[in-house]
Structure 1
């Protein structure tokens, strides 16, 4: 039987990864001390973690990009990722980075509702199209917004131009067989209901599954699965495997306006 804990263990297979959260936090804090306009801790719900930061471009925004962070729904918050806004911001996009209530305090299905609420809230603040991006568990949350049972109001769904799932999780059922499910508390029914690969995409959905070529095989499978199934359901799908990148370095390109990943997202 496959070792599913190892299959999802990114840090165990990337040398020096234990130091990464501190590095991310410091890099994001440095960015917040810069000249960029950032509206911080905008509330979109009742709980303490239902807040987002909104990073503004230097010119009137073309629209808003919502970036949803990962951490297996049980770690991290928006403060680790502020600098990832720079690539899209340089292309003229406002960038919203929400926090959300973590498991086990909230179920994954409840986090999905929170992200929908955050997108609706920022949509009232920024006119124009909406683009979605998410990394790892955030890729799950981003793609759930464009499923047929999305909790977004139809007017907001109609504004979503494209979605980029970076190393996303789209089939949650294997997580039932991991030790981390003691925290996630997924049931068979919730895992199936929350798996974007098992849902039908909304009409006109445009989604790219972007994954590093040096990632764990399970993360490659997760991206391939979404692209294959949704292509068969008439979504505009694209799968891109970026050679040389692991689960963490895949994000670095978001800081660069000239990167291929940023061009896919912002152009």
Structure 2
């Protein structure tokens, strides 16, 4: 835990998540095991490694419900744009699939190989290709942490995701400027113009796209501020999920009846 640890800056401490979560190191192995089990359980309804571009990580997995899909939920993973991939999160499609929705999960090129603006462009392309694979249905984009940032970016007026009706950023990074004061800056290489261009809280929400911001009640204060800041700038609802921290706030996506799933689908099903 964080007791006695030295930080390069107070901003590093503010954006450290695992250091303030008990037994944080146990979460990634649990996620990976649950994800592998879910993929196996779906059999042929798990279409894996579909390309949306030519680069190694420009792939997405598509999980299909039984029968005709009623909609498409796209989940964008987090990891501060520097870690993880789609394979760790497959189980989070369970709630959507159980409700008759398809669920797409893209990977993207990680920093420092890509800048955040480039990652945004990759995710936009992934969303467009996934929408082509499940045509004629409403599209919802959600994502967690850095993926919350990317899901919010898909709802900005400068984007045009086909069929997009709703975005649900979970624990999003909506204002990027504070990250310039962290150790992550070595990999992210943010500057003033990119922060302005890539901070959803500074950008207009696209007309006709609804938004509901979600965050855990036990998250770091910086993430509570980020969530509220976006909800205020976009004049949209936000929910503080009681007792949830940064690593378990996404668990509701596995449950078709959860409050988080209801927020994602927003009556579209």
Question: TM-score, normalised to structure 2's length?
Answer: 0.93
Secondary structure of the corresponding residue to residue 261 of structure 1:
helix
| Aligned position for 2:249 | 250
Residues in 2 aligned to 1:258 and 1:63: alpha-carbon distance in whole angstroms: 16
Residue 135 of structure 1 corresponds to which residue in structure 2? 144
Contact 2:78 2:147 in 1 (8 A): yes
Question: In structure 1, what is the Cα distance between the partners aligned to 2:123 and 2:157?
Answer: 16
From 162, 182, 185, the equivalent of 1:181 is: 185
Separation in 2 of the partners of 1:247 and 1:33?
Answer: 27
> Whole-Å Cα distance in 1 between the matches of residues 75 and 140 of structure 2?
9
> Which runs of 5 or more residues in structure 2 are unaligned?
1-8
Equivalent position SS for 2:125: helix
> What SS does the corresponding residue of 1:33 show, helix, strand or coil?
helix
Which residue in the other structure is 2:168 paired with?
Answer: 164
> What is the rounded CA distance, in whole Å, between the counterparts of 2:225 and 2:56 in structure 1?
35
Tell me, in whole angstroms, the C-alpha distance in 2 between the residues paired with 1:17 and 1:245.
13
Q: Which residue of 1 aligns with 2:3?
A: none
Paired residues, what number? 257
Q: Equivalent residue for 2:80?
A: 72
Secondary structure of 1:200's counterpart equals coil
Show CA shifts across 1:219-255 (max 9, x none).
Answer: 0000100110111xxxxx1110011000011111110
Q: Distance in 2 between matches of 1:17 and 1:67?
A: 22
Q: What is the Cα-based RMSD across aligned positions, in Å?
A: 1.3
- Displacement of 1:205 after TM fit? 2.4
**Aligned pair partner of 1:54 in 62, 73, 81:** 62
Which residue is equivalent to 1:193?
197
Partner of 2:6: none
Q: CA deviation at 1:130?
A: 0.6
- Counterpart among 81, 85, 89 of residue 81 in structure 1: 89
* C-alpha contact (below 8 Å) 1:74/1:103 kept by paired residues: yes
Contiguous gaps of at least 5 residues in structure 1: 232-236
1:116 aligned to 2:120? no
Distance 1:3 1:191 in 2: 20
8 A contact 1:176–1:188 mirrored in 2: no
Give the TM-score, by structure 1 length. 0.94
Take 1:240 and 1:59, find their aligned partners in 2: how far apart are those partners? 32
1:234 equivalent in structure 2: none
Cα displacement (A) at 1:204: 2.1
Q: CA deviation at 1:132?
A: 0.6
Match of 1:259 in 2: 258
Per-residue Cα deviation, 1:146-201 (whole angstroms, up to 9, x for no partner):
11222x36xx1xx2111111101100000000011101111121112100000011
